[in-house]
Chain A
């Protein structure tokens, strides 16, 4: 009986391909949306992880507050002396770069560009892996003297100077005039899709005294620590934590009010955000699959009315109500399965193209394809039921007389 229903349903679909296409369009789009969203999200997660990990396994971050992101706002910042003590006192540490970041508008003649001013030490360039395209880093003397000198990221150069040579020029940052001494080689997009080259690097002392809003500000927002080769990151994290607890006067038994993370932990923290986003997007897309199901129900209800005479004929030649029910259910199921398959193929193509365009890895996750496929089958059965039942309840005489 099931095989029979399948034969009849497939013939019925073949008989009116356009109707079938319109019926499943919603499911095709719904399934494609789910699969595209999730696979792009997974690609983004993958790209975050791999970019952070490409920073090298010996990079460690110290951030006030616990957890990555805006949650750590209330904890006090670090001091330059924290960085100095870590550099001097923790044996596994190669160098420490304290960072103070201030949003600032950079102005050169008529051009301006909103960017990030980073105050740091000379070690920053090696710790963060910057190469110089032109010029030089600021010197120790310039650092100590809090001189108004700066090093520009590639984006800032192209926005302010175009093709001109910026080295030696003077730009204005929030009212501070400073001389450009060097240009950083481009790095491209960062782990979260931000432009890493939109940056102006200055001596920490210059930023603290002359750019930060408050007078006598000595805060440091975070520290980038690079461990010596061959030293376990875990040990350095532990030692740095001990030093910082001591310096911040945290007693035994009290919780840290700062985090020290190695690259793996940073990657995990960042990718957990994109993972949540992925599931959110997937859920939104799943709603469109649901709407696709309602589309199936809608068109099948119309088609039951349109096919009333056909149903009457089938019943008059001996089709049982439950066979008519089964026929319509199987029809809805077959259609939505085809829709699911087409949607998956469409999603594979579209997410490949989008992944290329967005420069993120192209990931095929069989699980999400399976789930979307199963979901489309469920949609077919659930939303095919009402029309099928309506068809099965028709009276053969009235159905045959239907105009």
Chain B
């Protein structure tokens, strides 16, 4: 398991917002490797830089300095369009707000990223159904998103993120809007997708219970990584060297 090459490598990454006297360094020298198949939780207090880190990992934003290799490719210098293409082909996203299209069926919501991949209608339908099946919402496929409960909406969002079979699934506070019971269901879903389908997952959360579902917990404090611990098969945590 440890022999696999990292799919994500960050080297001394910084991110500075603003310029001059109002400049604010949100990330301050981050080094992070994530291997394919890992389930990583990023924790930290509010304002510590979790979302900033996640946005860089998810190619939504580019670092101010440092290197970022995604599957061996340098992405730190890529243009907006090139980053968009990486997201389109290799990444999936789940957000705190589910960001589903209102008045649109669950199936069409899940089809959305496939549409941008230029897939044929038949393939699109098929793959979207499979993703909805994976999150257990196939019977709900014709329901409009606003007719679903919060937990169901987030599961549709997960289905949308995995419909393209992404290399990495990013989730920023996926359970932030959900109560504990539903949060657990969503976490079990992500854990299950990680275990059975081998989807690499990176999740931001500030709830220790949700972080507990991950194999590995990275804690960010003031823009630097303060701790990085991995859970063994026996449940005992250990620091990553």
Count A interface residues, CB 8 Å.
Answer: 23
Tell yes or no: A232 within 8 A of B by CB.
no
For B5, list chain A residues within 8 Å (CB).
none
* A-contacting residues, B70-86, CB 8 Å: 80-81, 84-85
* Cβ of A319 under 8 Å from chain B: yes
Residue in A7, A319, A397 whose CB lies within 8 Å of B60 = A397
Contact segment of B26-34, B93-101, B147-155, B213-221: B93-101
B103 interface residue (CB < 8 Å to A): yes
Closest CB pairs A-B (n = 3): A318-B88, A317-B113, A318-B87
A8 B115 Cβ-Cβ under 8 A: yes
A318 x B102 contact (CB < 8 A): no
CB distance A396 to B60 under 8 Å?
A: yes
Interface residues in A364-403 by Cβ distance below 8 A to B read 396-397, 400
Tally of contact residues, B, Cβ under 8 A: 29
Residues of B within 8 A of A1 (CB): 118
Q: Which listed segment binds B: A80-88, A291-299, A307-315?
A: A307-315
Is A315 in contact with B99, judged by CB distance below 8 angstroms?
no
26 A-B residue contacts at CB 8 Å?
A4-B118, A8-B115, A11-B104, A15-B102, A15-B103, A15-B104, A16-B103, A309-B99, A310-B99, A312-B99, A313-B95, A316-B87, A316-B95, A317-B88, A317-B92, A317-B93, A317-B116, A317-B160, A318-B84, A318-B85, A320-B84, A320-B85, A321-B80, A321-B81, A321-B84, A396-B60
A257 adjacent to chain B (CB < 8 Å): no
Instruction: Flag if A7 contacts B93 (CB, 8 Å).
Output: no
Is the pair B93, A316 in contact by a Cβ cutoff of 8 Å?
yes
B61/A315 in contact, CB under 8 A = no
In the complex, how many angstroms separate the beta carbon of B141 from the nearest chain A beta carbon?
16
Q: Which residues of A contact B97 (CB under 8 A)?
A: 309
Instruction: Chain B residues near A323: list those with CB within 8 A.
Output: 116
Q: Which of A1-34 contact B (CB under 8 A)?
A: 1, 4, 7-8, 11, 15-16
Chain B residue nearest to A319 (CB atoms) is B116
Chain B residues contacting A321 (CB-CB under 8 Å) are 80-81, 84
Please, which residues of chain B bring their CB within 8 A of the CB of A312? 99
